[in-house]
Structure 1
Amino acid sequence: MFIVSLRYVVPVEEVEPHMAGHMAWLDRCYADGIFLASGRKVPRTGGVILARGERAALEACLAEDPFAVHGVAEFEIIECAISRTVDRLDALKE
């Protein structure tokens, strides 16, 4: 399991032109089964993604995000082994 922290490195106004492409990219990553959950940070300084799979595949996927391609965001990948959840989130356990 991976927690991806996305941080904008430019003002949010410079991020906006790439939002449609970013959303389409998210849709593809969900369809491919890589992403489990995602959302924006509060305050709006970036986002967070829960992902699964191999780290190399995740890194390749993140490199295709229009935010990364256009240099408006950076990603931090945190790998973790989920061992305890509420019953509704058992699928996250390794």
Structure 2
Amino acid sequence: MFVMELEYTAPIEAVDAVLEAHRAWLDEHYEKGIFLASGRKNPRDGGVILAVAPDRARIEELAATDPFVGAGVCVYRITEFVATKTAPALEQYRETLD
């Protein structure tokens, strides 16, 4: 599982100008079952996406296609973790340590 943390690198007005395209990008990856949760950080200086994928390379590829990245308004920090405990609704994503 991956935490994709966005940090805005441009004024919020520039972020808002690309927000509709970013939301469409999110919807596409929710439909594919890759994104599990997402939202703004508070204060609004970026966002967070919880995602599942076979490997880090796939997540990095996805991040590069975010319209926010294309517009130069954010950078990503990606953290991989092993989800050994989850809420019941996320049970299918539980992992075991090797």
TM range (shorter): over 0.9
| Residue 51 of structure 2 is aligned to residue 42 of structure 1 | no
Instruction: Provide the aligned length of Structure 1 versus Structure 2.
Output: 94
Whole-Å Cα distance in 1 between the matches of residues 81 and 71 of structure 2? 28
Over the aligned positions, Cα root-mean-square deviation in angstroms equals 1.1
Task: Summarize deviations over 1:38-91 as a string: whole Å, max 9, x none.
Answer: 011011111000001121111111111110011100000000001112333323
What do residues 17-42 of structure 1 show as CA deviations (whole Å, max 9, x unaligned)?
10010000001111122111101101
2:15 corresponds to: 15
Structure 1: give runs of 5+ residues left out of the alignment: none
CA drift at 1:92: 3.1
Q: Report if the CA contact (8 A) 1:68-1:74 is conserved.
A: yes
Q: What letter matches 2:10 in structure 1?
A: V
Provide Cα deviations, 1:2-21, integer angstroms capped at 9, x if missing partner.
Answer: 00110101111111110010
1:4 partner amino acid: M
Alpha-carbon distance in 2 for matches of 1:86, 1:73 = 30
- Scaled by the length of structure 1, the TM-score of the pair is 0.93
8 Å contact kept, 1:36–1:52: yes
Mapping 1:1-94, distance limit 5 Å: 1-53=1-53, 54-94=55-95
Q: Which runs of 4+ in 1 moved over 6 A?
A: none
- Residue 34 of structure 1 contacts residue 58 of structure 1 at CA under 8 Å; is this kept in 2? no
User: How far apart, CA to CA, are the structure 2 residues paired with 1:60 and 1:86?
Assistant: 28
Q: Quote the Cα distance in structure 2 between the aligned partners of 1:88 and 1:28.
A: 21
